[in-house]
């Protein structure tokens, strides 16, 4: 038994979890050994050949696409991939081994290919050593056709629930994680608002990010404890440590059960101020979880996920069906659909977006949509059509000035006109608002408020732009401070500007999910808070325990303090007086 | 007809994926059987995996055996191939 190792990272999602780890980064997957009968041999071989043909077809498509997007030079590696899949020596060996061993095609193929991968990984020459990655890529493509795709990273076929350890989770990884039995996430990089944090919170499991070298220090199947509150990870814990955490976890569960009673009660302060609490939605599949926590609608429906993990663009019909499904499920509450927010750290295969030097300051979100009206219009049509099936409102991400808002609205107007001509119904009164997440939008909020029907403050980006701290960079993660006076003043200014024009102002960033910060937002006059579903009850509990008057006074005082730390300490102390637990 | 020759890999990066792929496509242009060998390892010239497994780096000497009607022409093409850098092969 190896001894206990303690790793410290950035706490990204609260809770405690323990169990065996699964290193995702190395792309390891399990191909079960299964025997077949003599009569199945021929059909097994046919299945193998078909899988190889399908994989070849895919590579051809990919090659055409890459040639088109990036030029022939980048596509040439696929010629090598294709040759591997027509390598008679390799294919014959698999076929004869299927006959000889009477095992499934995937098992035999994987066993053969694994020997190649191992041989490549041991080659002294660096260029050749890297071919292991190519071969592994090819083999995954074939295996995907031999096994259900879901089984490839099949976490469910493993006996125990797992803790995913990865260098990073991309947004598209995050999507494929959804609905899997995952107990928690650990990543080498990333900050408090990375996608790992978002997906973990929406699954209601703990996550620790920014661990730097977790993938090197944890082995597959190591027993791991995650403390998502403190950002601590314990590898191969002693029996004592295990017991300690099991006790700690049952305490957390007990307090969560108490919160359960809050579900049906409104989020109202004891002096009668009602704050709407909504949920953020990553993908449609989450909708049940959202309802479970008693959300009063969706304050942020991220649509990027419809565009990810695929080679083509989603059609108008496909988007319409997805939006309609959510609108119907959430009705009579509102669903706030954010138009496509690509770029930054979210990329898709169907459209080539050049990687900027500073992606968060580059070609992304509304900037991209205004450059690509073809893609934008398709989405707008789908959203408008879905507006007939519930209460839908829409917002543009990353607006930095009135010019962009007017340009986007002009496109919207044209789309509406053509729908009217085609006699396709939509909600003529659908509200259109903007995300306030760029300091320039805050500073011109008065102007923007006159032409928006609501404001939604995206605090994750607003903090990053205000403090000039990249949120995916673990080296600057400590500087990312939601309570920084500059951030709070930005938010106050936005709320005031919105209210002066009589529009609602909501917050849809992670900030809304922290009871202490939500208390400050309440005091600053926020109308709505939208957060990951799992955080709703905690915030509701806070709101129900306090008076608006007190929140206003404390927020006012807090805004006059010098640092984020002073603000958190001051508000924390005040809040503890108001709600002793 | 059967010809045998020892050829030296000139490409700086050795016979990695792309040059190996180019070599296989070159072999397939001729009606010949080709084997490559490095000490005890003998591989089929039409098998990219086999060629990659040789782990042939710059300066590696490979014994090439060509058999068939077009053996002479094929061998000439192979000699040229092995003497070139990757960039020249791609252009």
Question: Does the beta-carbon distance from B48 to A120 stay under 8 Å?
Answer: no
Give A83's contacts in chain B (Cβ within 8 Å). Answer: 20-21, 24-25, 48
Give A117's contacts in chain B (Cβ within 8 Å). Answer: none
Q: Which residue has the higher pLDDT, A392 or A472?
A: A392
CA distance A361 to A66: 26
Q: Which of A23-32, A281-290, B73-82 has the lowest mean pLDDT?
A: A23-32
Identify which of A109-123, A132-146, A184-198, A542-556 has the greatest average pLDDT.
A542-556
Choice among A81, A195, A389, A484 that is catalytic: A195
Q: Is B68 on the interface with A (CB under 8 A)?
A: no
Can you give the pTM of this predicted structure? 0.61
- Reduced to 3 states (helix: H, G, I; strand: E, B; else coil), residue A436 is strand
Q: Which residue has the higher pLDDT, A191 or B58?
A: B58
Q: Which CATH number fits domain B2-90: 3.30.1340.10, 2.60.40.1180, 3.40.980.10, 3.40.50.1820?
A: 3.30.1340.10
Question: Does the beta-carbon distance from A128 to B52 stay under 8 Å?
Answer: yes
Buried b (16+ CB within 10 A) or exposed e, A307-318: bbeeeebbebee
Separation in Å, CA of A150 to nearest CA in chain B: 28
Choice among B7, B10, B16, B52 that is catalytic: B16
| pLDDT value at A52 more than 60 | yes
In this prediction, residue A157 carries a pLDDT of 46
CA distance A310 to A578: 50
ipTM summary value: 0.79
Question: Does the beta-carbon distance from A125 to B43 stay under 8 Å?
Answer: no
Closest CA in chain B for residue A82: B21
Separation in Å, CA of B76 to nearest CA in chain A: 23
Q: Is B24 on the interface with A (CB under 8 A)?
A: yes
Helix A515-524 and helix A485-500: axis angle, to 10°?
Answer: 40
Residue A557, Ramachandran bin (φ over 0: left; ψ between -120 and 50: alpha; else beta): alpha
Q: How many CB pairs under 8 A join A and B?
A: 64
Torsion sign across C-alpha atoms A191, A196, A201, A204: negative
In this prediction, residue A454 carries a pLDDT of 98
In this prediction, residue A65 carries a pLDDT of 75
Q: Is B53 on the interface with A (CB under 8 A)?
A: yes
Distance set, CA A144 to CA A36, A159, A366 (Å)? 20, 21, 35
Q: What is the pLDDT of residues A416-436, one digit of tens each?
A: 999 999 999 999 999 999 999
Helix A41-70 and helix A77-84: axis angle, to 10°?
Answer: 170
| pLDDT value at A147 more than 90 | no
Mean pLDDT of A540-568: 96
Selecting from B25, B48, B55 the residue whose C-beta is nearest the C-beta of A123 gives B55
In this prediction, residue A551 carries a pLDDT of 97
Q: How far is CA A236 from the centre of its chain?
A: 29
- Reduced to 3 states (helix: H, G, I; strand: E, B; else coil), residue A530 is strand
Give B47's contacts in chain A (Cβ within 8 Å). Answer: 87-90
Active site residue B16: yes
| Strand-pair category, B33-38 with B61-67 | antiparallel
Q: What is the pLDDT of residues A60-103, one digit of tens each?
A: 887 887 777 666 766 777 788 888 898 888 899 999 999 999 99
| pLDDT value at A25 more than 70 | no
Label residue A169 by pLDDT band (50, 70, 90): confident
CA distance A177 to A310: 16
Separation in Å, CA of A144 to nearest CA in chain B: 21
- Whether A76 and B90 have beta carbons less than 8 Å apart is answered as yes
Interface test mutation site (partner A, options B55, B60, B86, max chain A beta carbons within 10 A) = B55
Domains annotated for chain A, with CATH where assigned, are: 5-24+160-256 (3.50.30.10), 38-152 (1.10.274.10), 267-578 (3.20.20.60)
CA distance A317 to A403: 30
In this prediction, residue A526 carries a pLDDT of 97
Q: What is the mean pLDDT of chain B?
A: 88
In which order are the strands placed within the sheet that holds B2-8? Answer: B2-8, B61-67, B33-38, B41-44
Q: Which of A337-351, A499-513, A553-567 has the lowest mean pLDDT?
A: A337-351
Spatial CB neighbours of A329, under 8 Å, sequence gap ≥ 6: A287, A291
Q: What is the pLDDT of residues A361-412, one digit of tens each?
A: 878 889 989 999 999 999 999 999 999 999 999 999 999 999 999 999 999 9
Q: What is the mean pLDDT of chain A?
A: 86
Kind and range of the H or E element at B31? none
Listed by start position, the domains of chain B span 2-90
């Amino acid at each position: 038994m190896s001894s206990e190792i303690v790793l410290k990272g950035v706490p990204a999602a609260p809770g405690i979890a323990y169990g065996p780890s699964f290193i995702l980064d190395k792309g390891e997957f399990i191909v079960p050994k299964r025997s077949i009968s003599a009569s199945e041999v021929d059909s097994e071989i046919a299945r193998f050949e078909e899988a190889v043909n399908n994989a070849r077809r895919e590579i051809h498509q990919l090659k055409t696409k890459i040639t088109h997007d990036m030029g022939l030079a980048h596509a040439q590696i696929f010629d090598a991939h294709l040759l591997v899949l027509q390598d008679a020596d390799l294919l014959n060996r698999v076929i004869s081994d299927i006959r000889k061993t009477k095992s499934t095609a995937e098992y035999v193929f994987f066993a053969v290919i694994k020997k190649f991968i191992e041989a490549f990984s041991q080659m002294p020459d660096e260029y050749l050593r890297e071919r292991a990655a190519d071969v592994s890529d090819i083999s995954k493509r074939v295996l995907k056709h031999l096994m259900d795709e879901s089984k490839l990273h099949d976490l469910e076929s493993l006996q125990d629930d797992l803790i995913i350890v990865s260098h990073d989770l991309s947004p598209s990884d995050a999507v494929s994680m959804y609905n899997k039995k995952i107990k928690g996430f650990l990543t080498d990089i990333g900050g408090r608002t990375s996608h790992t944090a978002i997906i973990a919170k929406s699954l209601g499991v703990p996550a620790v990010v920014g661990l730097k070298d977790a993938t090197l220090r944890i082995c597959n199947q190591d027993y791991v404890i995650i403390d998502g509150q403190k950002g601590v990870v314990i590898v191969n814990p002693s029996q004592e440590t295990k017991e300690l955490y099991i006790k700690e976890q049952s305490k957390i569960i007990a307090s969560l059960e108490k919160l359960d009673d809050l579900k049906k009660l409104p989020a109202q302060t004891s002096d009668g101020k009602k704050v709407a609490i909504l949920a953020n939605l990553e993908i449609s599949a989450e909708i049940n979880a959202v309802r479970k926590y008693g959300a009063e609608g969706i304050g942020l429906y991220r649509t990027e996920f419809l565009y990810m993990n695929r080679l083509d663009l989603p059609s108008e019909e496909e988007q319409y069906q997805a939006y309609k499904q959510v609108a119907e499920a959430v009705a009579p509450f509102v669903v706030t659909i954010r138009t496509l927010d690509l770029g930054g750290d979210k990329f898709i295969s169907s459209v080539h977006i050049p990687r900027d030097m500073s992606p968060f300051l580059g070609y992304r979100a509304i900037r991209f949509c205004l450059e690509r009206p073809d893609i934008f219009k398709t989405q707008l049509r789908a959203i408008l059509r879905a507006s007939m099936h519930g209460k839908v409102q829409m917002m543009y991400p990353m607006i930095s000035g009135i010019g962009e808002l007017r340009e986007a609205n002009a496109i919207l107007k044209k789309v509406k006109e053509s729908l009217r001509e085609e006699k396709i119904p939509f909600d003529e009164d659908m509200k259109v608002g903007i995300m306030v997440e760029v300091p320039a939008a805050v500073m011109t909020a008065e102007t923007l408020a006159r032409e928006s029907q609501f404001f939604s403050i995206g605090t994750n980006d607003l903090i990053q732009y205000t403090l000039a701290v990249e949120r995916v960079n673990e080296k600057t993660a400590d500087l990312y401070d939601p309570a920084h006076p500059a951030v709070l003043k930005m938010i106050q200014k936005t709320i005031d500007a919105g209210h002066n024009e009589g529009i609602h102002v909501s917050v849809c960033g992670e900030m809304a999910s922290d009871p202490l910060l939500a208390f400050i937002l309440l005091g600053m006059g926020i109308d709505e808070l939208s957060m990951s579903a799992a955080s709703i009850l905690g915030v509701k509990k806070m709101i129900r325990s306090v008076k608006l008057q007190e929140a206003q006074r404390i927020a006012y005082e807090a805004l006059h303090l010098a640092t984020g730390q002073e603000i958190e300490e001051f508000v924390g102390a005040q809040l503890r007086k108001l709600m002793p637990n | 007809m059967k010809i045998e020759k020892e050829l030296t890999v000139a490409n700086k990066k050795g016979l990695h994926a792309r040059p190996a792929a180019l070599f296989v496509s070159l072999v397939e242009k001729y009606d010949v059987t080709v084997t490559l060998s490095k000490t005890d390892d003998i591989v089929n010239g039409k098998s990219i995996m086999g060629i990659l497994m040789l782990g042939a780096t710059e300066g590696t000497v490979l014994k090439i055996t060509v058999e068939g009607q077009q053996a002479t022409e094929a061998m000439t093409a192979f000699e040229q191939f092995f003497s070139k850098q990757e960039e020249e092969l791609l252009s």
